[in-house]
Every structure is written in C-alpha cells, then in structure tokens.
Amino acid sequence: MPDYALHYVAGSRYCETDQLGQIAWQLFGSVPPGAARVQAICDFVHQHLRFDYQQARATRSALDAYNERVGVCRDFAHLAIAFCRCLNIPARYVNGYLGDIGVPTDPAPMDFSAWFEAYVGHQWVTFDARHNKPRIGRIVIARGRDATDVAMVTSFGQHRLARFDVVAEEVAPDEAYRLAVAA
C-alpha cells in the first residue's frame, strides 16, 4: 500500500472504525479481499439502509446509519467507507454531481451526490453504495476522509439559498475530445 493511501485507513469524524470493526469482520471477513470484498460491502449497505431525503441529518455518522438503517447518499458512503477501513482497505469520500446520464430521467432536479473510492488492485476505484450499479457522468468536486473534509457548504450566520440549478448532459465521444483539447 502506498504511503498516500495509509491516511484513508484510519477512522474519522463520520467513520467510527473503532466501533464498527467487529461488525465489519463478522459480515465481510470471509469474503475474498479486493474488489469483491468492497462490492460485498456495497451490496450490504445498499440493502441495509433505506434512502430518505426527509431523514437527512448533518450529524449522522456511519455507526448511526448502521443502527438507524436510514440515510442519504453521504450516509451510504460513510458506512461503506467505515467498513472498508475496518478491513484495512483504504477508502475516501467523494462528493460531486451525478446526473441522469444513462439511466431513466428523474423529474426531481439534480442534486449533489456522495460516493466513495476504495484503493484496490493498486488503484482508486469508484463505488456507490446508494445506487450500487455503475453510472456514468460523475462530476467530482472534492475528495477527503469524510464529509468533514469536503463539506459542500460552510457558512456562518443565517443564510437562504434562493436558487440552485445543475445540468449535466452526455456528449458524443468526438465532442468530448474536442472540448477537452480546447480547455
């Protein structure tokens, strides 16, 4: 494991490895190490938690999500990250946008999303315990140990968000290449 990945094995504010370690080893210790083990973690978290925007809470940790069995995308990511770290798999939190590219269009406006990357096979690999299937069109904003490192908004005092619109559209491969070269 490279030195830069070691930072992502330790517990953090929202990923209590000290309290989830025994559970992680009981659930996943017999699964072969590597990507198969990380996918088993994603499968479990995806089935164990119920997604509910109305239950969002800024203070919910991985242990809280495990016990409460509910959360939003950041809670799915935190629980999966904590389990990975308990099993000595470096895992980091990622936030950004995840559009409706390659999946049925959702009539709700696009929102921020959270997923994670695990260090397997000598590379960082994207996993998403909430959706639990490959998706295209991820736009990374930031990576960190957990949501504390890469908060979407940090504000002081009273504030009001008046409008928020995000649009992501798929472009043909030749157009994507042209845009990348022009940038």
Minimal CA–CA distance to 38: which of 148, 137, 136, 125?
125
Q: Say whether domain 3-182 belongs to CATH 1.10.3720.10.
A: no
Calpha distance 68→1 (Å, rounded)? 33
Contact call for residues 148 and 13 (beta carbons, < 8 A):
yes
Maximum CA extent, the chain: 51
Tell me, yes or no, if the pTM score tops 0.85.
yes
State the pLDDT at residue 169: 78
At residue 132's C-alpha, the angle toward residues 100 and 67, to 5°, is 120
Calpha distance 54→36 (Å, rounded)? 32
> Dihedral, CA atoms, 94, 96, 100, 101, nearest 10 degrees?
-80
State the pLDDT at residue 149: 94
Calpha distance 62→83 (Å, rounded)? 9
For the chain, the domains span: 3-182
Q: Residue 64, Cβ neighbours under 10 Å: how many?
A: 17
For the chain, which ranges sit under pLDDT 70? 109-110, 176-177, 183
